[in-house]
Amino acid sequence: MAFCEIAISLTDSVDKGINLSDYNSVGIDIDYDSPLDGERVRIYLRNFDPAYAKLSDPISLKFNAIEYAPGEDKGLIKFPLRSFQVLSWWIADYEVPVDKSSRQFDNISIIEVATGSYVKEANYSIKLNKLIFYGERISEQALVKILLSLWVITAISFIIIDRIYLRKQIKETEERTQRLRDANRVLYEKSLVFEELAFTDPLTRTRNRHEINDWLAEFTTHSIDNKISFSMMFIDIDNFKQVNDKYGHRLGDEVLRRFASLINKRVRKSDVFARWGGEEFVIFCPATPLGATAKLAESIRECIENAVWDNGMKVTCSLGVAELENEDYCHFIERADEALMKAKERGRNRVEIAWNERQL
């Protein structure tokens, strides 16, 4: 035969069909045996609307159609319902008005599977294995309303929470500001006392390490008790022995004096700069976190490296930075010294930081 069709009636009466408007796609699994490869089949979703259809005329039901080549054993193929088109000959024959000529799925009563447009006389076999309509449990419009409501509720909740958090932050900020004021006052008073110390290094005119110990022990305890940041750095002139060996101690002393002078221009009034011994210096940075002290160390390193020295010398330095933890000042100094050793081991002319587990 030259024509083959499967017709599935969904209801007892064609005017009482099923509304498929809420579905968005259909899955079709067909085995199609035809004499030619690639032959196509048509899928019709027949819709009844009294504006154009009559119970006495089965052809008057709208043809929502799609045509494709299913082949054999190709499994389920999924099509969006928007890909279905109304047959033009049906629109013309029934003089369907423009507002009723588009695809329509609100009253589907018959589903048909038929051979394609061009067939020859032969034996055809159509086996419908599966027909599935896909849709969403919640319409897009309803979902938008739900999401909009949730968004409004969430936004209001965030505003309320944010106001509560802001009040808490303001209170904490005020308390922290007061603590910092108290700490700065203590720092200022301690600095005045420290400035009165007459002991300085005679060569570099910096502080003498032996006069720092009492202040350092007291300020370390003060910083821990009041949870105030306190950082330090060790600074060592790279290969200074070679400078003395090559140019003599007089020029070596001049390098130390200028080295200290360059650093003095970089430190703040609240910082404590001292010669620790030989070519090694130290800077204590009260009320300063690790990151800020590391930046200061890097600026000092760059300053020394870029400075112009007598006799075309190239002078660089290595630096080790540490921040006070819950420890005594001896361990604090030891960690900074270990960071300095790492800087030397890793090639000199660099800054190394003594990270703790909380900062990693």
Residues that are catalytic: 279
At 117, is the secondary structure helix, strand, or coil?
Answer: coil
Element holding 247 (H helix, E strand): helix 240-247
Query: Got the DSSP string for 41-106?
Result: EEEEEEE--TTT-BTTBGGGSEEEEEEE---SS---EEEEGGG-EE-HHHHHHTT--GGG-S---T
Query: What is the rounded distance in angstroms from the CA atom of residue 67 to the CA atom of residue 227?
Result: 77
Query: What is the rounded distance in angstroms from the CA atom of residue 322 to the CA atom of residue 352?
Result: 9
40, 116 in Cβ contact below 8 A?
yes
CA angle 51-56-58, nearest 5°? 80
321, 232 in Cβ contact below 8 A?
yes
Tokens of 329: 């000042």
46, 63 in Cβ contact below 8 A?
yes
Query: What is the rounded distance in angstroms from the CA atom of residue 79 to the CA atom of residue 182?
Result: 74
